[in-house]
Amino acid sequence: MAKGGGSMRFIGLILLSLAAATPVAASVYKDFVGVWDARDATYRTEREALDARAKSAATRAVEALVMSAPEAPEDLVVALADAWSLSELVGRGQTLWALREHMAARPSAALSEAWMQGKVDELRRRQAEANMIERQIDILKGRDTVSVQHWIAALEQLSMMRGNISGAAAELALIDQNLRSYYRAQSQEPSGLAVTLWAGALDALRSATRRSQDDFQDWSATCARTGSCVRQ
């Protein structure tokens, strides 16, 4: 009987420890949801102003190019930069939303590492697609074959695509930090190797996307200024 009573007490201690851990885990999750909610609200607030600015810049660029105004190349670069900024914010918001959906199931640290891997691979595919589009779209090789409006729209779409990729990468870098803190609070320390991998991969991806965009904007300005749109 004494032996059986000891076993029961041991099982009872296990159940008590599990019951105590559950409120802690719930509290940690609730705290991080509050952080993500606040970040999402900030992105939504900023988006309205960026959207208005991007539309205004696109209108100015079209008007300047139609009139062959001296400031047309500069207006075009501003329009492309504003399209990038808007889409970068959208990319952040979309990625944050994807995280919140993922975390709603209370995944383990291992599952979240797999989720990060999938998101990074997705960005690499989208980056390759953007580079392919820039090489293949005939509309970018000669302005004389399309209207000014269609030409600028094509340039803006590529800028927005790359801006979205950059924003998603930036948000994933922040998410990586959040997840490390989240799982440490739950005593599920993520792999140090994975932490290094994500930081390096995301930084390289953002840098490459930014360089591509800078080169693209320089070429667009030259094309608008001289009418020579042949790639070097």
Mind listing the pLDDT tens digit for each residue in 25-51? Answer: 678 899 999 999 999 999 999 999 999
Query: What's the rounded Cα separation, in Å, for the pair 186 and 84?
Result: 38
| Alpha-carbon Rg for the chain in angstroms | 25
Residue 16 lies in a domain: no
Residue 2 has pLDDT above 70, yes or no: no
Average pLDDT, the chain: 84
Please state, in angstroms and as integers, the Cα–Cα distance from residue 162 to each residue in 12, 23, 80, 94, following that order. 56, 42, 11, 14
Residue 209 lies in a domain: yes
Residue 157 has pLDDT above 70, yes or no: yes
Q: pLDDT tens digits for 166-220?
A: 999 999 999 999 998 898 888 776 655 455 578 889 999 999 999 999 999 998 8
Q: What is the pLDDT of residue 172?
A: 97
Residue 232 lies in a domain: no
Q: What is the pLDDT of residue 21?
A: 46
- Pick 230 or 55 by higher pLDDT: 55
DSSP per-residue codes, 153-222 = HHHHHHHHHHHHHHHHHHHHHHHHHHHHHHHHHTT-PPPHHHHHHHHHHHHHHHHHHHHHHHHHHHHHHH
Nearest-CA neighbor of 182 among 123, 117, 100, 118? 100
Residue 161 lies in a domain: yes
Residue 69 has pLDDT above 90, yes or no: yes
Residue 214 lies in a domain: yes
Please state the domain count of the chain: 1
- Interacting residues of 20 by C-beta distance below 8 A, sequence separation 6+: none
Residue 22 lies in a domain: no
Domain span at 63: 27-226
Query: What's the rounded Cα separation, in Å, for the pair 63 and 72?
Result: 8
Residue 9 lies in a domain: no
Average of per-residue pLDDT across 107-127:
94
pLDDT confidence tier of residue 105, bands split at 50, 70 and 90: very high
- Pick 149 or 43 by higher pLDDT: 43
Query: What's the rounded Cα separation, in Å, for the pair 86 and 56?
Result: 12
Average of per-residue pLDDT across 124-134:
93
Query: What's the rounded Cα separation, in Å, for the pair 2 and 8?
Result: 10
Average of per-residue pLDDT across 100-109:
94
Tokens representing 80? Answer: 């492309």
- pTM value is 0.84
Please state, in angstroms and as integers, the Cα–Cα distance from residue 83 to each residue in 46, 96, 100, 157, 161, following that order. 14, 20, 26, 8, 9
- Burial degree of 93 (CB within 10 A; 0-12, 13-18, 19+): buried
Residue 166 lies in a domain: yes
